[in-house]
Amino acid sequence: MAIIEVVSLDKIYNDSAVEVTALKNINLSISSGEFTAIVGPSGSGKTTLLNLIGGLDYPTSGKIRVGDVWLNELKGFRLIDFRLHNIGFVFQSYNLIPVLTALENVELIMQLQGVSAKERRKRATELLHRVGLGDRCDSRPSKLSGGQQQRVAVARALASKPKYILADEPTANLDGKSTETLLNVMEELNRDEGVTFIFSTHDQRVINRARRVVLLEDGYINSDTFN
């Protein structure tokens, strides 16, 4: 069974003067262990789709199942709790908490989950080693490069043992070399530990590394190909 099932999803923004149809009749199913890119030109609806799959926003119509839970049935603190335990997020602009060290950033999620101090310290250290930052545990984000910050973000996303990790244009702010390193880390985690990654991008080098490419155009799925 697919871990994510998107059924005839529509998203219309009508908070401004003009209505914008960002997504139109999206049907998609994603299985555990996928390494999938959502691609398409700017404005095609990539972010909107990821936000909906991430439970950050509600669709205008249609529904999304994650595991055996329908996201539209979750409201308020239940939805927040669902995200905490099931979904990992990586953002384009890293979004680490500036007052926390790399280690504390990774620990934070586990702390919210109620993991014991000892265990979360152990796991956070492991994860930072895993993304190649074992020696930067005590650095604040401002002391890390963009690529390093994004790898901390990946470690943070992994910390909660989520069902899948959503990454909205994770390499958009990175140079070629950092992009390469980040993708290597993500690929390794996917291959060795079966972590499911869904990421959006319009960078051809990133697209080339994906094993499945969903192409969006004006809110429609134009193509869905497996490499």
Partner 1 sequence: MSYLKMAQRNLWRNKRRTVITVSSIFFATLFAVVMRSFQLGSYSLMIRNSIEQYYGFIRIQHSGYTQDPVLENTFESNRELLDKIQNISNVKAVTPRLETFSLASSGNISKGVLVLGIDPETETRFSNPENFLIRFKLTPKVIESLSRDSFLYPLLEVISKHRDAVFADKFELREIFADDPISHSKLRKILELSEVEGRFLSSNDRGVVLSSRLARFLKLEVGDSVILMGQGYQGASAVGVYPIVGIVKIPNPELDNRVVYMPLNLAQEFTNVLNRISYFAINLNNTSDNQLRITADSIKAIVTESYLDVKTWQELNRVLVQQIESDNQSGNAFLFLLYLVVFFGILGTVIMMVHERIHEFGVLISLGMQKHKLIFSLFLELVLMALMGIGFGFLVGIPIIQYYSFYPIRLSGDLANMMTEMGFEPLLPMAPVSGFVWGQGIVTLIMVMIASLYPIRKIIKLQVVSALKR
Ligand X SMILES: Nc1ncnc2c1ncn2[C@@H]1O[C@H](COP(=O)(O)OP(=O)(O)O)[C@@H](O)[C@H]1O
The answer to whether residue 44 forms part of the interface with Mg ion (CB under 5 A) is no
111 binds, among Mg ion, ligand X, partner 1, none (CB under 5 to 8 A by kind): partner 1
In the region spanning residues 47 to 76, those forming contacts with partner 1, defined by CB under 8 A, are 51, 54, 56-57
Q: Distance between CA atoms of 88 and 12, rounded to whole angstroms?
A: 25
191 binds, among partner 1, ligand X, Mg ion, none (CB under 5 to 8 A by kind): none
The answer to whether residue 169 forms part of the interface with partner 1 (CB under 8 A) is no
The answer to whether residue 81 forms part of the interface with partner 1 (CB under 8 A) is yes
The answer to whether residue 107 forms part of the interface with partner 1 (CB under 8 A) is yes
209: Cα within 13 Å, side-chain hemisphere: 22
The answer to whether residue 47 forms part of the interface with ligand X (CB under 6 A) is yes
Q: Distance between CA atoms of 206 and 39, rounded to whole angstroms?
A: 10
CB 42 within 8 A of CB 203: no
Minimum distance of partner 1 from residue 13's CB (angstroms): 10
CB 30 within 8 A of CB 210: no
Residue with tokens 């702390």: 111
136: Cα within 13 Å, side-chain hemisphere: 23
Phi-psi map region of 94: left, alpha, beta (phi>0 left; psi -120 to 50 alpha):
left
The answer to whether residue 129 forms part of the interface with partner 1 (CB under 8 A) is no
Per CB under 6 A, the list member of 2, 5, 13, 181 interacting with ligand X is 13
* Structure-token pair, residue 29: 């199913």
CB 141 within 8 A of CB 149: yes
Interface ranges with partner 1 (CB under 8 A): 51, 54, 56-57, 77, 80-81, 83-85, 89, 91, 95, 97-100, 104, 107-109, 111-113, 156, 160
Interface ranges with ligand X (CB under 6 A): 13, 15-16, 20, 22, 40, 42-48
